Amino acid sequence: MIRLLRYLIGVGLLVAGAVWLADRPGAVSLDWLGWHVETSMPLLLLICALAAFLLLWLVRLLGLLIGVPGIFGRMRAERRHRQGYESLTRGLVAVAAGDPKEALRQARKADSLLDSPPLSLLLAAQAAQLAGDEEAATQHFDAMLKRKETEFLALRGLITQALKRGDRTSALIQARKAYALKPDAEWVILALFDLLIEERAWEEALELVTKSAKRHLMQDDLAKRRSAILTLELANQSVDSQHALKLAETAFDLLPELPASAVLAARLLGAKGKQSKAARLLERAWTANPHPSLVDCLKSLSEGEDAVRFVLAVERLVAGAPKNIESHIAVAKAALDARLWGKARSALEPVLAAERPQARVLALMAAIDEGEGRLSDSVAWIRRLSTAQSNPVWLCLSCGAMADDWSSICPACHGFDRLAWRSPEHLLHLEDASSSSRALPDEVGA
C-alpha cells in the first residue's frame, strides 16, 4: 500500500512538472564552436535527461565488461570449492568404509582443490592411519598443529599415535598441551588422568581432579573418592611424618570407608605415642567399613599387651558394626589367641547359620575344637572346607587378579581404583561387577 502511494505521488509530481513546463515554454539560444542552436526549454531538458540516461548505461556497460574476468574467476573458484568439498565427503565415506586408498586419493584431490584446508589435512591423517602409515599420519598431524583451528584435533591424533606405539611419555606431553587448550573437554581429562596415574604423578592428578570437580566436569562422589586415594598416595610417598599424617587424615575424612587411609594414619599416630587417638580413628573406620586390616593395625599398636586385654580392645573396635561378619571373625580370632574358647565359639555362632559359611569361619571353628581337645570335631570342620564359600580377598574388578594388600593400582592390569574386598567367586560375574562398579564408583574398595 505504501509503495503504491509513493508511485502515485511520483507520477503526480512528474505530470505537474510537465504541465508547469508546458505552460512556460521559454526559449534557449546556444552558440558554441561555430554551432548555433535554438530550442525550447522543455526540449532541452528532455535532451539532457536522455543524455544522462545514456551516459549512465554506458558507464554500467563499461563496468560490466571490466568485471567479466572477475566473474569467471569467482565462478571457477566456486566450482573448485564445490568439487573440493565433494572430494572431502567421498573421502570421509571411504574412511568410514575402511578404504584407505580411496580415502587418500580423495584427500589429495581435496587438498589440491581447496588449497590445504584443515579438513583435507584431517582426512589425509585419517587415511594414513587407516592404511597403517603411522609416519605419514604423524606428519599430517604435525602440519595441523601449525593451524590454530586444527591444533586441538592434531593433539588428539598425536596422543592416539603415541599410545599405539607405547610412547606414554609423548602421549602425556601432548595430553598436557590439549588440556591447556581446552580444559573442559571430557576426553582430554580422561586421557590426561590415566597417563598421570601411570606416571605416578599423584599431585598433578589430584590438581586435575580438583579443577574438574570445580567445573562440574566430574561427579562429586567420584571426585571425592579419587581425591582421597590420590591424597593417600601423596601421604605414602611423603618423607615428613607430620605431613604424611596430615595427608592420611585428610584422605580418611574424604573417604572413611577406605581402610588403607585409616591404617596409615593410625600407624603414624602410634609412632608418635598417640595410641588412644589411633584406636579411636580405627573405631571410626570400622564403623564406616569393617576390614581385617584394621584389626591387624590395632594389634600392632597393642604389641606386648595382654591377649585378654586385646580382646576387650577388639570388642571396642567392632562396636560400631556388631552384626558385620568381620566383627564376629575379629572377636573370635582375638578370643582364640587368648584361649577363650567359649567366647570365640559364641562369636562365630551367628555366622555359622549361613547356608555356606566362609572357609575362614570353618577354619576358626576347627582351631577352637582343637584347642578344647575335640579333635574329631575339628577334623569334621576341616572336611567341610571343600564346600565352604571362598574367603574374601582384594580382587580387581577389571581383570580378576587377586592381591594380598590394597593398592590404588591393580598389580596385574594397572587399572586405577579397581581393587575391591570380594570373594573370588565374584570372578564368575566379573563383567557384571565391573559394569556396576563403573556406574557406582563408591562401591569399589568397600
- Whether residue 411 lies inside any domain: the answer is yes
The separation between CA 324 and the C-alpha centre of its own chain, rounded to angstroms, equals: 36
Distance CA 80, CA 351 (A): 80
Name, of 17-26, 153-162, 312-321, 436-445, the range with top average pLDDT.
312-321
Q: If you average pLDDT over every residue of the chain, what do you get?
A: 83
Contact assessment for residue 443 and residue 437, using Cβ atoms and an 8 Å cutoff: yes
Please name which of 243, 333, 389 lies closest in space to residue 264, comparing C-alpha atoms: 243
**Residue 389: burial class (beta carbons within 10 Å; 0-12, 13-18, 19+):** middle
Burial class (CB in 10 A: 0-12, 13-18, 19+), 330: buried
Instruction: Work out the number of other CB atoms within 10 angstroms of the CB of residue 439.
Output: 7
Q: Say if CB 269 and CB 302 are below 8 A apart.
A: no
Name, in order, each residue with C-beta under 8 angstroms of 94's C-beta and a sequence gap of 6 or more. Answer: 100, 102, 103, 106, 127
- What pTM was estimated for this model as a whole? 0.73
Mean pLDDT of 116-134: 70
Are 410 and 430 in a shared domain? yes
Question: How would you class 54 by CB atoms within 10 Å of its CB: exposed for 0-12, middle for 13-18, buried for 19 or more?
Answer: exposed
**Is the confidence at residue 238, as pLDDT, over 90?**
yes
- Is 369 among the domain residues? yes
Residues 361 and 381 in one domain: yes
What's the pLDDT score for residue 23? Answer: 64
Distance CA 351, CA 295 (A): 18
Higher pLDDT, 59 or 75: 59
Selection from 81, 405, 364, 74 nearest residue 236 by Cα: 405
Long-range contacts for 381-386 (Cβ within 8 Å, ≥24 apart)?
385/359
Q: Residue 429: inside a domain, yes or no?
A: yes
**Looking at the predicted structure, is the pLDDT value of residue 41 above 70?**
no
430 part of a folded domain: yes
Residue with cell 552384626: 323
Reported confidence tier of residue 92, pLDDT bands at 50, 70, 90: low
Mean pLDDT value of segment 100-111: 67
Rounded to an integer, what distance in angstroms lies between the CA atom of residue 133 and that of residue 206?
Answer: 37
Find cell 585419517 and name the residue. 126
Q: What is the CA radius of gyration of the chain?
A: 43
- The pLDDT tens digits of the residues spanning 337-373 come to 999 999 999 999 999 988 889 999 999 999 999 999 9
In the predicted model, what is the mean pLDDT of residues 251-275? 95
- Nearest-10 crossing angle of helices 241-254, 220-237: 160
Collapsed DSSP state (helix, strand, coil) of residue 135: helix
- % of the chain residues with pLDDT over 90: 54
Look up residue 364 and give its three cell numbers: 576358626
**Which single residue is written with the C-alpha cell 586405577?**
416
- Bridge partners for 28 per DSSP: 39
101, part of any domain: no
Number of independent structural domains in the chain: 2
Distances (CA, A) of 149 to 85, 152, 162, 168, 191: 18, 7, 22, 26, 21
14: in domain: no
| 408 shares its domain with 438 | yes
376 vs 384: CA distance, rounded Å: 13
3-state class (DSSP) for residue 35 = strand
Q: Angle CA(419)–CA(424)–CA(426) in degrees, nearest 5? A: 80
Residues comprising the chain, all counted: 446
- Residue 146 domain-assigned (yes or no): no
For residue 427, give its domain range. 402-443
Instruction: Report helix, strand or coil for 393.
Output: strand
Q: Tell me, what's the pLDDT at 117?
A: 66
Residue 15 lies in a domain: no
